[in-house]
């Protein structure tokens, strides 16, 4: 495994061309000037007090697990459910519980994930914000004590800013999918399919190809004030290393709003193509290559422009037409 490439970033400014990069980059000190980071560097108590003053009464969803899970939020042993529970609570109560648990050598696990900053902490972004070049990114807060989140991918591009505690990011390029032993697509701990390999104790007898994934992996430990640019579709394992950790992340898509998630196409392909005879699957592989993965200006150039319909460049109206066509087909 090699270290993630690093750049010493100017406070609050993304390097030119960064968001077009296809590789992850650690941006040391990018948000070190944020008041939240300055508070966290003073103490955990100062960080908690800062978050509390931004909170306006919205409950947060918490994942909780017993000490036995060792911070790994995952499936239960029988793969019939999960090894953690879920509940809602006021954020101040969660923050105080995290402070109290810091001295426990084997504490229960608390994890608040993907919670809207603007909903939960209105006013936070007035003094702690980042221009990511997108007019309306989704900005989320993640906090808890020590945790390990299994390798998974996200469709949006991502800038993750560590604002309290330390986090270790272990990354794998998209082409390592076959070596990550990914679990179910539609039965997941938190919405995204995850690798079944425990990175802390990898079982190479059961998952031998994971050794190749590790050889192609990248990792880094981020301190408060550091950030990570994570391109779309990169697999990432995130480990929170302290008794109190907080992270703010920015998500955005480099595609029009009318485009649906490609996951919909994957699930529909499982429904319609995976179990076809091999010769038919190969034929459809060629069709997808022609119309989707290697489509260019010549693909539909022989069709009169007014008659291209689904082959025309996608617009809001075209997306609505395709969606209605799919719904009609699926309801047969």
pLDDT score, position 255: 84
Q: Starting from the edge strand earliest in sequence, which strands make up the sheet with 235-240, in order?
A: 2-3, 218-222, 167-172, 235-240, 147-152, 72-73
Domain that includes residue 94, residue range: 2-252
Q: Indicate whether 220 belongs to any domain.
A: yes
Residue 206 domain-assigned (yes or no): yes
Q: What mean pLDDT, rounded, does the chain reach?
A: 94
pLDDT in tens, 236-248: 999 999 999 999 9
Statement to judge: residues 52 and 170 lie in one domain: yes
* Same domain for 305 and 237: no
Which pair of structure tokens corresponds to residue 270?
């499982």
Assess whether 161 and 204 both reside in one domain: yes
CA nearest to 31, candidates 147, 138, 156, 125: 125
Picking from 226, 252, 278, the residue at the C-terminal end of a domain is 252
- Measured CA distances, 8 to 14, 167, 190, 216, 282 (Å): 10, 18, 33, 24, 47
CA 288/CA 294 separation, integer angstroms:
8
| Co-location of 277 and 133 in the same domain | no
Q: How far apart are CA 232 and CA 244, in angstroms?
A: 28
Task: Identify whether residues 314 and 240 lie together within a single domain.
Answer: no
Check residue 223 and report its DSSP letter: P
Confidence at residue 262, expressed as pLDDT on a 0 to 100 scale: 92
Do 226 and 269 fall into the same domain? Answer: no
Output DSSP code: residue 43: -
Please tell me whether residues 248 and 267 are part of one structural domain: no
Q: What is the structure's pLDDT at 330? A: 85
Confidence band (pLDDT; 50, 70, 90) for 134? confident
Separation CA 195–CA 209 (nearest Å): 12
Identify which has the larger pLDDT, 6 or 329. 6
What pTM value is reported for the model?
0.94
User: Are 182 and 278 within one domain?
Assistant: no
Over residues 145-175, the pLDDT tens digits come to: 999 999 999 999 999 999 999 999 999 999 9
Please identify, among 252, 272, 303, the residue that sits at the C-terminal boundary of a domain: 252
pLDDT at 58: 85
Report the pLDDT averaged over residues 175-194.
Answer: 96
pLDDT for 35 equals 98
Q: Quick check: is 222 in a domain?
A: yes
Does residue 115 contact residue 141 with C-beta atoms inside 8 Å?
A: yes
Q: Is the pLDDT of residue 332 over 80?
A: no
- In sequence order, what are the residues at sequence separation of 6 or more whose Cβ sits closer than 8 angstroms to the Cβ of residue 25? 4, 5, 6, 7, 15, 18, 228, 229
In a domain, 55, yes or no: yes
Average pLDDT over residues 276-286: 97
Clarify whether residues 68 and 149 are in a common domain: yes
Q: Report whether pLDDT(266) > 80.
A: yes
- Say whether both 267 and 290 belong to one domain: yes
- Over residues 220-233, the pLDDT tens digits come to 999 999 999 999 99
Domain-embedded: residue 136: yes
**Residue 33: which CATH number?**
2.60.120.10
Q: pLDDT by residue (tens digit) across 316-325?
A: 988 998 898 8
Q: Are residues 23 and 137 in the same domain?
A: yes
Residue 257 located in a structural domain? no
Report d(CA 222, CA 229) in Å as an integer: 12
Instruction: Summarize pLDDT for 58-72 with one digit per residue, the tens.
Output: 899 999 999 999 999
- pLDDT of 247 reads 98
Is the per-residue pLDDT at 89 higher than 80? Answer: yes
* Per-residue model confidence as pLDDT tens digits over 102-118: 989 999 999 999 999 99
- Of 252, 282, 312, which marks where a domain is finished? 252
Asked whether residue 248 falls in the same domain as residue 316, the answer is no
Q: What is the pLDDT of residue 72?
A: 97
Give the total number of structural domains in the chain: 2
Residue with tokens 């025309």, as numbered in its chain: 312
C-alpha distances in Å from residue 191, one per residue of 82, 261, 271: 13, 13, 20
């Amino acid at each position: 495994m090699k270290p993630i490439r690093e750049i010493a970033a100017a406070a609050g400014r993304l390097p030119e061309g960064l968001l077009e990069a296809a590789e992850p980059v650690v941006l040391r000190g990018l948000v070190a000037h944020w008041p939240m980071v300055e508070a966290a560097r003073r103490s955990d108590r100062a960080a908690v007090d800062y978050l509390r003053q931004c909170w306006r009464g919205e409950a947060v969803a918490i994942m909780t697990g017993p000490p036995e899970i060792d911070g790994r939020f995952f499936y239960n042993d029988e793969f019939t459910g999960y090894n953690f529970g879920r509940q809602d609570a006021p954020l101040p109560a969660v923050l105080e519980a995290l402070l109290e648990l810091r001295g426990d050598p084997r504490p229960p696990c608390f994890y608040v994930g993907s919670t809207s900053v603007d909903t939960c902490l209105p006013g936070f972004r007035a003094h702690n914000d980042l221009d990511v070049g997108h007019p309306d990114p989704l900005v989320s807060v993640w906090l808890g004590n020590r945790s390990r989140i299994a390798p998974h991918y996200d469709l949006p591009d991502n800038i993750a800013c560590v604002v309290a505690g330390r986090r270790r990011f272990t990354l794998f390029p998209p082409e390592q999918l076959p070596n990550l032993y990914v679990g179910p697509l539609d039965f997941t701990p938190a919405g995204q399919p995850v690798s079944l390999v425990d990175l802390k104790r990898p079982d190479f007898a059961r998952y031998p190809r994971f050794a190749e994934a590790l050889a192609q992996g990248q990792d880094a430990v981020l301190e408060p004030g550091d950030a990570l640019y994570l391109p779309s579709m990169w697999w990432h394992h995130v480990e929170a290393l302290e008794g109190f950790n907080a992270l703010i992340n920015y998500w955005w898509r480099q595609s029009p709003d009318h485009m649906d998630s490609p996951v919909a196409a994957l699930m529909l392909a499982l429904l319609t193509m995976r179990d076809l005879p091999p010769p038919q699957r190969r034929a459809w592989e060629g069709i997808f290559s022609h119309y989707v993965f290697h489509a260019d200006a010549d693909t539909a150039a022989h069709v009169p422009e007014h008659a291209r319909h689904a082959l025309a460049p996608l617009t809001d109206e075209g997306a609505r037409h395709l969606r209605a066509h799919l719904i009609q087909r699926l309801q047969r």
